[in-house]
Chains A and B, each alone.
Chain A
Amino acid sequence: MKKLFMVLLLVFVFSISFSASKIVFWHTQVEESRQKVINQLAETFSIETGIEVEVVAVEENEMFSKLAAAKAAGTLPDIIEAGAETILSLGSDGLLDTILPTRFINNSGWTFYEGAARFVMSPDGNNYYAVPYHGWVQGIWYRKDWFEEAGLEPPVTWEAILNAARYFNNPDKGIYGIVLAKNADSYAEQVFTIFALSNGARIFDKNGNIVVNSPQMKETLEYYRELGKYSAPGHTYWKQARELYLQGKAAMFFYSTYIMDDLALAEVQTKYIENFNPELVDNTGFAPYMTHSRKSSFGQVVSLGVLNTTTNKLGAWKFLNFMFEPENYVKFLHMAPGGMLPTTKEMAESEVFMNDPKGIYTRYGKEKIMEIIEGMSNVEKFGYVAGKVFPEMGKISGAFIIGKGIVKMFDEGLTPEEVLSFWETEMKKVTGK
């Protein structure tokens, strides 16, 4: 009995002394293959520094409830990897440390793209809530060969998009002009955002008032409804978009740069269609921006944030430095070529980044890739207005209000005016305005 007691005591003492040099890292890369890479990186880090890393993969949608539960249980992580909205919400709730990220962005020696860094800036503009780590751009991917044959303009203006959708749409043959987002999810918000912002329609004004019920927004909804007539039917989201396009049944669809490997690699593409189409890469064009009354792009920046409850700030600092070491950084980015674009100029311009193991970037060419990365700097979101940040947008996105309104318009036949008043009511409700 005494022996057992001693052993237990020893284990207890050891675990306490170990936990002092341990950090917990939550990330949102739940795919198994990516988890493997991240676990490897964590192991390398603990060999190099002697600091153990506990890696936990969390579904992005569950990040908040998990954090809240961890907060109640006193088991908050030290570092998280999360999208801009999550970081903003956490930052405005005062959960994130701003000293380390600000110091890292200003003094680490890496040059961060301003377009990426502004997404994690605190509302006063002096500090950063997190360090931007990777990002993607979303736009219209289209059949360049079909467009050229038909003599149509690339789909970068509202007019060109509608014309092309009308031209190619042939539902009796199962061919659709475009695959629009018509489901109550975040994809719908992502797709709708670029239409709205290219028409100057916003959710917040620069004082943070909700101004969604505007003539510009109404015009955008009217256009969206019209475009819906030439879209694949039903509650379409990224899944139908990807499959219909790869099957050659759609002329245009919205997707992030994560689609690049599906277009280029046989082993990925044949998951969705029987026969690999080797010409698809060359026959596909990408419109990373949209123009109507103004020009706009959409995308996401995923960042590394440090919780201010961490007792191991030194470990967190070392971890940040480690993650940006070129050999580790590139390993992370190459988990999803196309989907994970770098946020530092040094990495974007490096040879190692262009040489991903599957050869996807070389297939697209350096110029095209740099153009896409630059596109990340023009990315706009509803939560950022004239250099100001409105974290309340996170609540609107989290409740899928935009997607729900779009579904009501298509399913219940609500007019754009009715959708606008639904949006206004719901948005004011969740943001408490």
Chain B
Amino acid sequence: MELSVKEERFAWKLVAPTIILLLLLILYPVIYNIYISFFDVGITSMKFVGLENYKRILSDKDFWRSFFITISFTLLTVVGSILLGLIVALMMNKDFKGRRIMRTIILLPYITPLISVVFSWHYIFDPSLGPFVEFFGRKLGLISTDIDLLNNINNAFIVVSVFNIWRNFPFVYLMILSKLQSIPSELYEAAEIDGANAWRKFTNVTLPELYFVIAAVGLLRGIWNFYKFDEVYLMSKSAGTLPIFIYERVIGTTSPEFGVAAAIATILMVVMMVLIGFYVKKVLKW
């Protein structure tokens, strides 16, 4: 047997456990999910209904509302956390006293357990029990004493977006900072010799160097936030993104509609695959 054939076989053997696990843990649920999306699944019955679930969902205006909220949420938070992460990374790339401790502090929102952060936010902004309204409202009289920033359904989208950006920018910052530190200083020196000012150095050296990091981080954050459930649900359920929409159809109800939820999940998967395919081709240029 030729060496290359042997090596190839060996390689397959090495990846086989991973592939089997992936098939079991990912492919099977995905296929089962697609399968039940064609059924009306009640607590006692399972009836084949063909494309009925899809028809119902695609003609449900609450679904489309949630869909566009989710798209806006994803766009806003991805762009927001990248911008904030980029600015902070650029600042932290400069040498100054206390830089090391600052670098650690910046990571805190990302590494603190979500549930404790959410509870702190809810406590701080609670209009009757929390210190925010107590101080700015009742002590200083700057704001109304009955303002419920976090829960009011008119604020829900903004609150959830701001929270997500705040919580996740350290991840972006970390990725960008590590790339920043590997940009050779010769590039900047050469640019300086050519008479480039700080802004030109940023647009002509830093940004092109960061392009793929930012694009990759954008992709990851986009996927995560499109399916984001925990942060949105815990912060403000009334934000009404799609994962919450699905949850309310299945778990938080006494009449779970598994078939409909499976249909939504399948639709989301298709949408996501198209978007990712487009992104990878156009932005990441793979």
Chain A residues packing against B (C-beta within 8 Å): 61-62, 64-65, 67-68, 71-72, 85-86, 89-90, 93-95, 171-174, 176, 179, 183-184, 232-236, 240, 243-244, 249, 394-395, 397-400, 407-408, 411-412, 430
Q: Does B251 contact A (CB under 8 A)?
A: yes
Complex CA distance for A382 and B237, rounded to whole angstroms: 26
Within 8 Å by CB of B128, from A95, A184, A232, lies A232
Q: Does B252 contact A (CB under 8 A)?
A: yes
Task: Determine how close the nearest CB of chain A comes to the CB of B147; give it in whole angstroms.
Answer: 7
Does B129 contact A240, Cβ atoms closer than 8 Å?
yes
Complex CA distance for A412 and B153, rounded to whole angstroms: 8
Residue of B nearest to A176 (CB): B128
Complex CA distance for A115 and B85, rounded to whole angstroms: 61
**Residue-by-residue, is B249-268 near A (CB-CB < 8 Å gives 1, otherwise 0)?**
01111111010000000000
Task: Determine how close the nearest CB of chain B comes to the CB of A76; give it in whole angstroms.
Answer: 10
Task: Determine how close the nearest CB of chain B comes to the CB of A89; give it in whole angstroms.
Answer: 5
CB-defined A-B contacts under 8 Å, sample of 8: A61-B251, A65-B251, A173-B138, A184-B238, A232-B128, A395-B253, A397-B254, A399-B253
Within 8 Å by CB of A398, from B134, B148, B151, B255, lies B255
B138 neighbours in A (Cβ, 8 Å): 172-174
A64 neighbours in B (Cβ, 8 Å): 43, 253-256
Does A430 contact B152, Cβ atoms closer than 8 Å?
no
Q: Does B127 contact A (CB under 8 A)?
A: yes
Q: Does B95 contact A (CB under 8 A)?
A: no
Q: Does B146 contact A (CB under 8 A)?
A: yes
Does B255 contact A232, Cβ atoms closer than 8 Å?
no
Does A412 contact B146, Cβ atoms closer than 8 Å?
no
Within 8 Å by CB of B153, from A61, A93, A244, A408, lies A408
Residue of B nearest to A59 (CB): B251
Does B154 contact A68, Cβ atoms closer than 8 Å?
no
Task: Determine how close the nearest CB of chain A comes to the CB of B128; give it in whole angstroms.
Answer: 4
Does B146 contact A233, Cβ atoms closer than 8 Å?
yes
> For chains A and B in complex, what number of residue pairs have CB atoms within 8 angstroms?
94
Of the candidates B41, B152, B154, the one having the most CB atoms from chain A within 10 angstroms of its own CB is B152
Does B255 contact A234, Cβ atoms closer than 8 Å?
no
B258 neighbours in A (Cβ, 8 Å): 68
B250 neighbours in A (Cβ, 8 Å): 65
B44 neighbours in A (Cβ, 8 Å): 71, 93-95
B127 neighbours in A (Cβ, 8 Å): 232-234
B208 neighbours in A (Cβ, 8 Å): none
Does A244 contact B151, Cβ atoms closer than 8 Å?
no
A90 neighbours in B (Cβ, 8 Å): 43
- Known contacts A95-B43, A232-B127, A233-B147; A411 and B253 CB within 8 A of each other: no
Complex CA distance for A430 and B249, rounded to whole angstroms: 11
Does A85 contact B254, Cβ atoms closer than 8 Å?
yes
A67 neighbours in B (Cβ, 8 Å): 43
Task: Determine how close the nearest CB of chain A comes to the CB of B274; give it in whole angstroms.
Answer: 30
Q: Does B72 contact A (CB under 8 A)?
A: no
Q: Does B145 contact A (CB under 8 A)?
A: yes
Residue of B nearest to A61 (CB): B252
Q: Does B42 contact A (CB under 8 A)?
A: yes
Task: Determine how close the nearest CB of chain B comes to the CB of A122; give it in whole angstroms.
Answer: 16
Does A171 contact B146, Cβ atoms closer than 8 Å?
yes
Of the candidates B128, B129, B250, the one having the most CB atoms from chain A within 10 angstroms of its own CB is B128
Task: Determine how close the nearest CB of chain B comes to the CB of A62; give it in whole angstroms.
Answer: 6
Task: Determine how close the nearest CB of chain A comes to the CB of B152; give it in whole angstroms.
Answer: 5
B147 neighbours in A (Cβ, 8 Å): 233-234
Does A430 contact B148, Cβ atoms closer than 8 Å?
no
Task: Determine how close the nearest CB of chain B comes to the CB of A226; give it in whole angstroms.
Answer: 15
Of the candidates A62, A65, A176, A408, the one having the most CB atoms from chain B within 10 angstroms of its own CB is A65
Task: Determine how close the nearest CB of chain B comes to the CB of A188; give it in whole angstroms.
Answer: 13
Complex CA distance for A179 and B250, rounded to whole angstroms: 31
Interfacial residues of chain B within 94-146, with CB under 8 A of chain A in the complex: 126-129, 134, 138, 145-146
Does B152 contact A234, Cβ atoms closer than 8 Å?
yes
Does A183 contact B128, Cβ atoms closer than 8 Å?
no
A243 neighbours in B (Cβ, 8 Å): 129
Does A65 contact B256, Cβ atoms closer than 8 Å?
yes
8 further A-B contacts with Cβ under 8 Å, apart from A233-B147, A399-B253, are: A72-B41, A72-B46, A89-B254, A172-B138, A234-B126, A394-B254, A397-B254, A411-B152
Q: Does B248 contact A (CB under 8 A)?
A: yes
Residue of B nearest to A229 (CB): B146
Does B255 contact A430, Cβ atoms closer than 8 Å?
yes
A176 neighbours in B (Cβ, 8 Å): 128
Residue of B nearest to A394 (CB): B254
Complex CA distance for A86 and B44, rounded to whole angstroms: 15
- Known contacts A176-B128, A399-B253; A68 and B43 CB within 8 A of each other: yes
Within 8 Å by CB of B145, from A86, A233, A400, lies A233
Does B154 contact A234, Cβ atoms closer than 8 Å?
no
Task: Determine how close the nearest CB of chain B comes to the CB of A166; give it in whole angstroms.
Answer: 16
What 6 pairs between A and B have smallest CB-CB spacing? A234-B148, A233-B146, A398-B254, A235-B151, A232-B128, A398-B253
Within 8 Å by CB of A236, from B128, B153, B251, lies B128
**Residue-by-residue, is B146-181 near A (CB-CB < 8 Å gives 1, otherwise 0)?**
111001111000000000000000000000000000
A62 neighbours in B (Cβ, 8 Å): 251
Task: Determine how close the nearest CB of chain A comes to the CB of B22; give it in whole angstroms.
Answer: 23
Complex CA distance for A278 and B268, rounded to whole angstroms: 56
Complex CA distance for A407 and B151, rounded to whole angstroms: 10
